[in-house]
Amino acid sequence: MTAEARSNLRGDYSHAAPDYTVEQDWGAYSEAEHALFRRLYERQAKLVPRYACPEWIDAIARLDAGRGIPDFAEVNRSLSRATGWRIVAVPGLIPDEPFFTHLASKRFPVTVWLRKPEEFDYIVEPDVFHDFFGHVPLLYDRVYADHLAEYGKGGLKAMRLDAIRMLARLYWYTIEFGLMKTPAGVRAYGAGLLSSGGELAYCVEDPKPRRRPFELERMLRTDYRIDRYQDCYFVIDSFGQLMRETAPDFTPIYARVRGMAVLDPAAP
């Protein structure tokens, strides 16, 4: 992230440590912010029983996050026991290197600020609701959590190989917008879906988007749009599959994919 990109972000980076973490300062949230978080939570809580993957549903019950913006220190007591992960507070999006370093060290960066009431349905940058509700429950799942730490190491490696664009597409189509096949049908595990009021039902039920089986090279090649519902989703069988299929050394895969055309997500 360049200084210019950072200056367009709304978080306050002036007090951040070199690894971009800040104090959460939980006591500073207003009652109105806790109430807004609860309203967001309640809207999603009605949808997730039908659309979220079972691993996410199992985990959210352990979090008791419906009361308001969670206190990260409290979450860390149970999370570190479950999988060795912790969450750390950050001012918002952070540059690639500290981001990957946090993941590789089993620390998930969570934005401290909450969206404004007028952004109830849509927000451009990730806020504490997206980061917490979408990402944190799955950190309680052993296989998912291990995979995400491997992704972090893979990110540092991709930086050395100048392959961040390709790896970012994989993140987008898995961690943010991934679907999973379950006995009950297709379900969401991507955080961008789980925290979305509209796309969560759309991704599972709407006939329009394409739902492709997991295919590593295609994911590394497929562009994405950040400003509307996705045209294309990739469906995994399980987090075990995600772990297995991303385990091989990507160096030769990057070399091959680099020479191929980027794919349009809306292409048939």
| Contacting residues toward Co ion, per CB under 5 A | 126, 191
Least CB distance from residue 131 to ligand PHE, whole Å? 19
Q: Which does 191 bind (CB under 5 to 8 A by kind): ligand PHE, Co ion, none?
A: Co ion
CA-to-CA distance for 257 and 221, rounded, in angstroms?
7
Q: How far is the CB of 203 from Co ion (least distance, A)?
A: 15
Q: Which of residues 4-33 bind ligand PHE (CB under 6 A)?
A: none
Nearer to ligand PHE, 154 or 178 (CB): 154
Quick one: 102 or 147, whose CB is closer to ligand PHE?
147
Specify the amino acid at residue 2: T
* Contact status, residue 9 vs residue 94, Cβ threshold 8 Å: no
102 binds, options ligand PHE, Co ion, none, Cβ within 5 to 8 A by partner type = none
Which range in 17-25, 30-38, 184-192, 247-255 contacts ligand PHE by CB under 6 A?
Answer: 247-255
Q: Which is nearer to Co ion, 47 or 191 (CB)?
A: 191
Touching ligand PHE, residues 144-163 (CB under 6 A): 147, 150-151, 154, 157
Distances (CA, A) of 159 to 5, 167, 168, 183, 237: 18, 9, 11, 38, 29
* Residue 247 contact partner, candidates ligand PHE, Co ion, none, CB within 5 to 8 A by sort of partner: ligand PHE
Strand partners, 210: 232
Which CB, 180 or 191, lies closer to Co ion?
191
State the nearest-atom distance from the C-beta of 210 to ligand PHE, in Å.
Answer: 22
Verify binding: residue 196, ligand PHE, rule CB under 6 A: no
Quote the least distance from Cβ 80 to ligand PHE, whole Å.
22
Q: Which residue is nearest to Co ion (CB)?
A: 191
Residue 157 or residue 181: which is nearer to ligand PHE going by CB?
Answer: 157
# binding residues, ligand PHE (CB under 6 A): 11
Q: How far is the CB of 63 from ligand PHE (least distance, A)?
A: 25
Selected binder of ligand PHE within 73, 247, 260, 266 (CB under 6 A)? 247
* Three-class HEC string of the chain: CCHHHHHCCCCCCCCCCCCCCCCCCHHHCCHHHHHHHHHHHHHHHHHHHHHECHHHHHHHHHHCHHHCCCCHHHHHHHHHHHHCCEEEEECCCCCHHHHHHHHHCCEEEEECCCCCHHHCCCCCCCCHHHHHHHHCHHHHCHHHHHHHHHHHHHHHHHHHCCCHHHHHHHHHHHHHCCEEEECCEEEECCHHHHCCCCHHHHHHHCCCCEEEECCHHHHHHECCCCCCCCCEEEEECCHHHHHHHCCCCCHHHHHHHHCCCCECCCCC
Instruction: List residues binding ligand PHE (CB under 6 A).
Output: 147, 150-151, 154, 157, 170, 246-250
